[in-house]
Amino acid sequence: MPKRTNNTLFRRVLHDMERRYLSPDAQGRVYRYMMTEEVPREIMERAIHEAVSLGQLKNSAVDASLLDALVAALLDDRSFEIPGNASENIYPSSSWIS
């Protein structure tokens, strides 16, 4: 998922925890959203964190339709957060490489 900023190419690499709790179709959706920039990056990062948190709660991967619902909730209300979510502390921050 390349992104150019000031002539520098950046790629978003999913963390192991993100790959574990996002189904393959959800992972594809993440990359599509980021590549097309149809969802702001900060919203997408929050959606990923919320999805991982939900995946951990239910002990299974979040599918693309649930990820879409999280993205829609965050686009509708940027203060949306799953109650009791400590997703910021679940795993190290995501990786952007250039």
Q: Which residues contact 34 (CB under 8 A, 6 or more apart)?
A: 1, 3, 12, 41, 44
Between 94 and 61, where is the model more confident?
61
The residue written with tokens 């925890």 in the block is: 17
- For the residues 2-7, what does the mean pLDDT come to? 52
- For the residues 29-35, what does the mean pLDDT come to? 92
Task: Report the pLDDT value the prediction gives residue 45, as an integer from 0 to 100.
Answer: 92
Task: Report the pLDDT value the prediction gives residue 1, as an integer from 0 to 100.
Answer: 46
pTM for the model stands at 0.74
Between the alpha carbon of residue 58 and those of residues 6, 21, 87, the distances in Å are 41, 10, 14
Q: Over the chain, what is the mean pLDDT?
A: 81
- For the residues 16-42, what does the mean pLDDT come to? 93
